[in-house]
Structure 1
Amino acid sequence: MRAAFRAAALSTPDLDARVLTAHATDREPNEVVLKGEEPVGERMRECALSLANDRLAGKPVARILGRKEFWGLTFTLSDETLEPRPDTELLVEQVLECCGDRSAELTILDIGTGSGAIAVSLLHELPRAIAIGTDLSQGALLAARANACRNGVGERFFPVACDGHSAISGDFDFLVSNPPYIRSMDITTLDVGVRQHDPVLALDGGADGLAAYRSIARDSRHLLRRGGYVFFEIGYDQAAEVAAISVESGYENISVFQDLAGHDRVIRGFRAT
């Protein structure tokens, strides 16, 4: 498997081979290294071959396994959810930076919750917070609900089926969103693992990639209490435009945060009045 992955120039061939072999042989990844010479049965060999073929066809490892680690938690994936990515952990970090007392009773609105990765991770760190997660996709909401329960915060996570925040009212402390932000014309240029396996609904941000930001920012300010914050994940080249949209929508003290690669990744806005 490893040799085939190397020959195919996969970005992490050794790691992929180890993880998939572990899955096929019902072992932990480190056991694959320590017990790699031990014989396995025909069923396990066939399973490993099938997994390898899926990976060589461009299917991401997380999609093959049906789960992904994020913020130290495990999230089940479905066809209707994005695969949570490490860059999104920056948004979680920045929300927590603004929390002050993490034991406070806080309210969070996660627009386009998908797998629930952002909301569930925040609830895991904020023991008295509650979160509403909205999504157009029923399949995504079922996955988010299952992930909340799996990670011990199910009683504080409330999925709502709606377009954006159209069915929501209230005064939230935090509004968070990782909306679709890829320009429509760029969808076909994405990596095959994203293009073929992430839902287009969660990728396509319209002609300029900014449609969801306009919709959310324009109509969401009234959902935040005075002193509340809005957080958006953004594309690496969208900071100036999303910042302008946020200011036009009445948000103040706009801040931009960079990911580990130095790319603009998260924007924060503040409702002062």
Structure 2
Amino acid sequence: MAEALRHGTERLRNAGIDSPRREARLLLGHALGRTQTDLLAAPDDAIDPGAYLSLIARRAAREPLAQILGTREFWSLDLEVSPATLIPRPDSETLIEAAMAAFPDRHAVRRVLDLGTGTGCLLLAALTEFPGAFGVGLDRTPLAAALARRNARRLGLGTRAAFLAGDWARAIAGRFDLVLCNPPYVPTGEIGSLMPEVARYEPASALDGGMDGLRAYAALLPELTRLLAPSGVAVLELGHGQAGAVTGLAIRAGLTISIRADLAGIPRALVGRPQGEGAGSTKNCLASQTGESSLAAGAGCGPRPLPWCPG
């Protein structure tokens, strides 16, 4: 086993993997069905390395570790992942933090909507924090909706979450206290320059935000006044450098917004409220790690159909 681990580590290092020994050990445990504690307790056990070396070859080809292992942790939840969905990122946990900050009373949230739900990570994390809430996750991809449904069941949240496949405009009616969305926001021309794990293996529909990366925001933001309850809050993930442009779209859509930064200080979450709800300063400043900035809404614009729903 020790020799197999050394071989796997070296192969991953040569492939440019940042943490080759850690990942080689995780893949070894996965191949053998053993915990990391088991591996440490018996490092010299003889094994048949065939299955392990197959996993190493997949990772050396830059297939994402989470897709090989089949799971990824998000908000301390163990989630099933697949090539049909975006792999949950730690940065997206900023959206849950923003939602919690917006609703200090955890029982104030009763209805949650997650648009482009993917694995269901945002909705399921929100349901763990808002104990009286029920949620709907919507995704254009039936495989993603089915995956999210399995995640809800395995976490004991199946009776509080429904997952649907369909177009936003046609599939959703009613109003929600909390709307969550991690839309595709990578400019089309930049997808090819992303890490191989992302560009080659994650679904383009969950990444491609059009020529300027703003296509999804332009479609979604005008719909939020229809989807939000009078005191509702929408939390949308932002791509790097997009806060200013998305802020402008949100203000024109009739929303009062604030921006919350992630732990690296990068503006990561746009928090939108219907005009007149929670309006703050009109200063054009961005949040630090510990706070948010506010921008008052301007004139709204009419709703329009949403032609897509990311995987």
Do they superpose with TM above 0.5?
yes
What's 1:13 paired with?
20
Alignment of 1:130 with 2:134, yes or no, is yes
**What value does the CA root-mean-square deviation take over the aligned residues?**
1.3
Distance 1:105 1:264 in 2: 25
| 1:246-265 equivalence runs, <5 A | 246-252=250-256, 254-265=257-268
Larger Rg, first or second structure (1 or 2): 2
Matches for 1:59-138 after TM superposition, within 5 Å: 59-104=63-108, 106-138=110-142
What residue is the counterpart of 1:27 in the other structure? 34
Match of 2:227 among 219, 223, 226: 223
Number of matched pairs = 269
- Distance in 2 (CA, whole Å) between partners of 1:186 and 1:163 is 26
Secondary structure of the 1:154 match is coil
Aligned equivalents of 1:33, 1:165: Cα separation in 2: 53
Q: Provide the residue aligned with 2:209 in structure 1.
A: 205
For 2:19 and 2:265, how far apart are their aligned partners in 1?
Answer: 22
In 2: Cα distance, 1:255 partner to 1:12 partner: 36
Structure 1: any 5+ residue segments left out of the alignment? none
1:147 aligns with 2:151: yes
Which letter maps to 2:11? A
Contact 2:103 2:109 in 1 (8 A): no
The question of 1:191 aligning with 2:195 is answered: yes
> 2:182 is matched with which residue?
178
Alignment partner of 1:79: what SS? coil
Query: Which contiguous aligned blocks of 4+ residues in structure 1 show a shift greater than 6 angstroms?
Result: none
- Deviation by residue 1:19-76 (Cα, 9 ceiling, x = unmatched): 1011011111233233222222x2xx11100000000000111010111111111111
The alignment status of 1:214 with 2:221, answered yes or no, reads: no
The answer on whether the counterparts of 1:164 and 1:216 sit within 8 Å (CA) in structure 2 is: no
| Structure 2 Cα separation of the partners of residues 231 and 53 of structure 1 | 39
- The Cα shift of 1:265 comes to 1.0
Which letter does structure 2 place at the counterpart of 1:80? A
| CA–CA distance in structure 1, aligned partners of residues 132 and 164 of structure 2 | 20
CA distance in 2, matches of 1:236, 1:28: 37
Partner of 1:232, secondary structure, is strand
Q: Which runs of 5+ in 2 are unaligned?
A: 1-7, 277-311
